[in-house]
């Protein structure tokens, strides 16, 4: 963010200066371990931790803090702002940054592919314009404002992910930030623990479109009927993208290169462009098409897009290819749902492999009362090219039951209670030439299995 005195920070965040009004800050942190000399530490009260317990530690490095409880001792030369609620103060600050500094804000939402699409949009836009993005999957009522508040001065484009697990959450974020462009990936049966149906999920996702800035635009997945239903009543500028359906930006002549990526041609604006995506799978191509449509909407040239596509990389634990002792690990452990799992299993079944194909599949969370059915169906439709299925977690037993009902031999099905158990088994089981796919919801911690294997080199 631009350098601010604590006097101005207090004004933007809705607080009062207690000390050091002329002290300057140039960034915001909510974790004292991330504090640096120019940081303003916001002491957020969360469900498990109260940031006020770490104010003294943060002030050893940070330039100051925003608190609702003023510390008894304030070190000399530090700025202190008191507010009623530090979370609301962070949100006020983000809203003020959005209001006072000119940049185009892109909000990305959907049931899957949000983070990868966000990363791709940022990569393409950065080829020609100063671009800032939310980091990781910081997409909630704290993470999204935190990233927005830290927008560097002079930024042209900000790309932010907007997630939700309940109605009203995207509405809150969108009203707070008023994106100029809303990007939709796909609507799928996730978070059904909190929604009665996929129509309820679609209604919640519509909140982004309904709260865009005046004159805002949308980017829609024409291959997803629910997404197109959301956009049907939108009267503003729009761009559609697709792999199959007619669209403004259409991928044609798709040629998969296994784990090495995908070659394809984009037909758009009366012209054709040959591109190569260095990430495997149709799901990643779909995400890239969303990014291309968004980048063009924001004025990025085709030459800029072509050059940037070669630099596109998978986000953390989202489709990373890892060589391991002559075998290959495909790390897609960050999250999972029935649709995303099916896409990843399809990639596993089609990728070149001189050894065995091993699917390590963990529990898919937040699927509601039908979670048993979703897991069983994932197993029942397991590609026959898969040689071994390893289930991780309580719900994954139903995946194995489904695979067994589809004809998989019991000897090809194994179960583990946790990630470290499957890591030990993989260490003893993987052979040279094997291709091992790992995918589960974040809560299962299957990334720890990947880390355990990587630590062996």
**Is residue 191 over pLDDT 60?**
no
Residues 282, 206 share a domain: yes
Q: What is the pLDDT of residue 163?
A: 80
Q: What is the pLDDT of residue 316?
A: 78
277 is in which domain, residue-wise? 101-309
Residue 80 gets the label, from left (phi > 0), alpha (psi -120 to 50) or beta, of beta
User: Are 158 and 105 in contact, with CB atoms under 8 Å apart?
Assistant: yes
pLDDT in tens, 314-330: 877 888 899 999 999 99
Residues 143, 200 share a domain: yes
Mean predicted confidence (pLDDT) in 248-273: 94
pTM: 0.84
90 in any annotated domain: no
pLDDT in tens, 425-449: 999 999 999 999 999 998 999 999 9
Q: Which of 155-164, 199-208, 260-269 has the lowest mean pLDDT?
A: 199-208
**Is residue 192 over pLDDT 60?**
no
- Burial (CB count <10 Å: 0-12, 13-18, 19+), residue 77: exposed
Residues 257, 141 share a domain: yes
Q: What is the pLDDT of residue 329?
A: 96
Residues 300, 332 share a domain: no
Q: What angle do CA 396, 400, 405 make, to 5 degrees?
A: 145
Q: Which of 384, 420, 374, 367 is nearest to 195 (CA)?
A: 367
**Is residue 197 over pLDDT 80?**
no
Residues 118, 81 share a domain: no
Q: Which of 120-124, 158-162, 304-308, 314-318 has the lowest mean pLDDT?
A: 314-318
96 in any annotated domain: no
- What percentage of the chain reaches a pLDDT higher than 70? 97
Q: Which of 115, 109, 99 is nearest to 177 (CA)?
A: 99
Q: Which of 19-28, 107-116, 262-271 has the lowest mean pLDDT?
A: 107-116
User: Are 149 and 87 in contact, with CB atoms under 8 Å apart?
Assistant: no
Q: How many domains does the chain have?
A: 3
Q: What is the pLDDT of residue 24?
A: 97
Residues 264, 120 share a domain: yes
Q: What is the pLDDT of residue 137?
A: 59
Residues 259, 173 share a domain: yes
Last residue of a domain, one of 54, 85, 116: 85
User: Are 157 and 298 in contact, with CB atoms under 8 Å apart?
Assistant: yes
**Is residue 342 over pLDDT 90?**
yes
Alpha helices, DSSP H, located in 29-113: 55-58, 86-100
Q: At what angle do helices 302-309 and 282-297 cross, to 10 degrees?
A: 150
Residues 163, 65 share a domain: no
Q: At what angle do helices 419-429 and 447-454 cross, to 10 degrees?
A: 40
Strand segments, DSSP code E, in 36-186 are: 39-42, 64-67, 79-82, 104-109, 131-133, 157-161, 181-184
Mean predicted confidence (pLDDT) in 135-155: 85
**Is residue 193 over pLDDT 70?**
no
Residues 268, 328 share a domain: no
Which uninterrupted H or E stretch holds 119? Answer: helix 114-125
95 in any annotated domain: no
pLDDT in tens, 66-75: 999 999 999 9
Alpha helices, DSSP H, located in 298-395: 302-309, 338-350, 371-380
pLDDT in tens, 376-417: 999 999 999 999 999 999 999 999 999 999 999 999 999 999
Residue whose tokens read 């194909």: 357
221 in any annotated domain: yes
How does the average pLDDT of the chain come out, rounded?
Answer: 93
Residues 157, 281 share a domain: yes
Written as six digits, the tokens of 50 are: 């109260």
**Is residue 136 over pLDDT 70?**
no
**Is residue 194 over pLDDT 80?**
no
Distance CA 103, CA 243 (A): 31
């Amino acid at each position: 963010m631009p350098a601010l005195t604590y006097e101005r920070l207090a004004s933007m965040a809705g607080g009062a200066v207690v000390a050091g009004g002329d002290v300057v800050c140039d960034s915001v942190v909510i974790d004292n371990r991330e504090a640096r000399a120019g940081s303003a530490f916001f002491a957020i009260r969360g469900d498990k931790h109260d940031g006020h317990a770490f104010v003294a530690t943060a002030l050893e490095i940070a330039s100051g803090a925003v608190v609702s409880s003023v510390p008894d001792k304030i070190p000399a030369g530090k700025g202190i702002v008191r507010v009623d609620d530090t979370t609301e103060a962070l949100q006020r600050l983000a809203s003020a940054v959005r209001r006072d500094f000119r940049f185009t804000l892109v909000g990305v939402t959907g049931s899957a592919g949000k983070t990868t699409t966000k990363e791709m949009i940022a990569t393409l836009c950065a080829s020609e314009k100063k671009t800032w993005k939310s980091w990781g999957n910081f997409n909630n009522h704290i993470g999204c404002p935190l990233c927005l508040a830290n927008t560097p001065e002079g930024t042209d484009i900000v790309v932010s992910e907007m997630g939700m697990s309940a109605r009203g959450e995207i509405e809150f974020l969108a009203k707070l930030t008023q994106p100029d462009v809303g990007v939709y990936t796909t609507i799928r049966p996730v978070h059904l623990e909190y929604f009665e149906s996929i129509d309820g999920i679609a209604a919640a996702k519509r909140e982004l479109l309904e709260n865009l800035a005046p004159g805002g635009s949308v980017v829609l997945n024409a291959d997803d009927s629910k997404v197109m239903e959301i956009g049907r009543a939108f009267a503003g500028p729009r761009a559609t993208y697709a792999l199959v359906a007619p669209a403004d930006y259409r991928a044609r002549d798709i040629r998969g290169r296994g784990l090495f990526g995908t070659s394809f041609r984009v037909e758009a604006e009366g012209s054709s462009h040959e591109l190569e995506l260095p990430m495997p799978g149709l799901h990643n191509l779909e995400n890239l098409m969303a990014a291309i449509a968004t980048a063009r909407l924001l004025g990025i040239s085709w030459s800029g897009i072509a050059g940037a596509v070669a630099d596109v990389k998978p986000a953390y634990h989202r489709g990373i290819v890892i060589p391991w002792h002559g075998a290959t690990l495909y790390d897609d452990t960050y999250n999972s749902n029935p649709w995303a799992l099916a896409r990843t299993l399809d990639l596993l079944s089609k990728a070149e492999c001189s050894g065995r194909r091993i699917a390590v599949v963990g529990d898919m969370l937040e699927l509601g009362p039908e979670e048993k059915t979703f897991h069983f169906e994932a197993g029942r439709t397991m590609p026959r090219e898969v040689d071994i299925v390893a289930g991780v977690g309580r719900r994954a037993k139903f995946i194995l039951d489904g695979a067994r009902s589809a004809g998989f031999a019991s000897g090809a099905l194994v179960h583990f209670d946790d990630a470290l158990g499957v890591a030990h088994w993989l260490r003893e089981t993987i052979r040279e030439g094997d291709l091992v796919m790992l995918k589960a919801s974040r809560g299962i911690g299957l990334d720890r299995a990947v880390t355990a294997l990587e630590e062996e080199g």
